[in-house]
């Protein structure tokens, strides 16, 4: 099943003035989606969301389309939520334990952003994208508490113009060290190796305020770090 988005996310406000933030009704829907995923691990149906928010199914469909345009969710070809950044609605190789239950992140950056988003230390498990060696982390807001292996790092492919689920997430991964980072970067054009501390700073810029009362009108996206490797 393919995953689509209504359109590209709005451009950054820049000189146009302060970001007014996501509209209140869309914010309520977004918060309800995240709370449901945290509680159950799955996205509620449109009918369940309508009942929970005291609105109509048409309003939920419209709200989800608005969230997709703002790049807070992606929708499949039936109009259902297929990813809710930073969460994946299907299993991935990036596993985060929240309240004793496994949750899945869309990519390594999304996984690293969850502790700051939730305000708690979390355990993350993944595998090297080159050799599949197990990689584990204990991450608290603002710090990598532990990493095994200690030389693990992130390789990322930032792209602000296209849907993240298609162009960034599949190529934003953990690797077990510099050698395999170099291999991955040679294989995938536009990717960049990041030490964990730098990757964490970037992840927290994106996701650290996702559960605050006001969030940007469009989701913050990847910026370009350092020098990329072209295939």
Same-domain check for residues 69 and 114: no
Q: What is the mean pLDDT of the chain?
A: 86
- Residue 26, domain member (yes or no): yes
| CA 169, 174, 175, 178 torsion-angle sign | positive
**Where residue 117 sits, what CATH number does that domain have?**
3.30.450.410
Q: Which of 168 and 25 is assigned the larger pLDDT? A: 25
Mind listing the pLDDT tens digit for each residue in 192-203? 999 999 999 999
Evaluate whether residue 212 is within a structural domain.
no
- What is the model's pLDDT at position 230? 44
Residue 184 shares a structural domain with residue 163: yes
pLDDT of the residue at 5? 37
Residue/partner pairs of 68-71 with CB below 8 Å, 24 or more apart: 68/5, 68/6, 69/5, 69/6, 69/7, 69/9, 69/10, 69/218, 70/9, 70/10, 70/22, 70/26, 70/217, 70/218, 70/219, 71/5, 71/9, 71/163, 71/164, 71/218, 71/219, 71/221
User: Can you give the pLDDT at residue 117?
Assistant: 96
Domain that holds residue 190: 95-207
Please tell me the distance from the alpha carbon of residue 76 to that of residue 26, in angstroms, as a whole number. Answer: 19
Domain count, the chain: 2
Mean pLDDT of 19-43: 91
Least confident range of 17-31, 107-121, 161-175: 161-175
pLDDT reported for residue 162: 64
> Bigger pLDDT: 89 or 140?
140
Give me the CATH number covering residue 32: 1.10.10.10
């Amino acid at each position: 099943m393919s995953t689509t988005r209504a359109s590209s996310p709005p451009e950054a406000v820049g000189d146009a003035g302060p970001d007014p933030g996501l509209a209140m009704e869309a914010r309520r829907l977004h918060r309800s989606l995240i709370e449901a995923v945290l509680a159950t691990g799955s996205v509620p149906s449109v009918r369940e969301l309508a009942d929970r928010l005291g609105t109509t199914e048409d309003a939920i469909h419209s709200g989800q389309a608005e969230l997709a345009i703002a790049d807070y969710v992606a929708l499949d070809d039936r109009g259902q939520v297929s990813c809710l950044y930073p969460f994946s609605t299907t299993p991935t190789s990036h596993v985060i334990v929240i309240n004793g239950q496994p949750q899945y992140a869309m990519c390594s950056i999304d996984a690293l952003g969850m502790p700051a988003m939730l305000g708690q230390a979390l355990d993350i498990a993944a595998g090297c994208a080159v050799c599949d060696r197990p990689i584990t982390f204990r991450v608290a807001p603002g710090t990598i508490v532990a990493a095994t292996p200690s030389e693990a790092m992130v390789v990322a492919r930032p792209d602000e113009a296209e849907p993240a689920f298609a162009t960034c997430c599949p190529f934003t991964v953990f690797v077990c060290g510099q050698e395999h980072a170099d291999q991955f970067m040679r294989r995938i054009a536009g990717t960049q190796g990041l030490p964990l501390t730098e990757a964490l700073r970037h992840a927290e810029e994106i996701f650290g305020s996702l559960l605050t009362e006001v969030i940007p009108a469009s989701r913050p996206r990847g910026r370009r770090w350092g020098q990329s490797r072209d295939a």
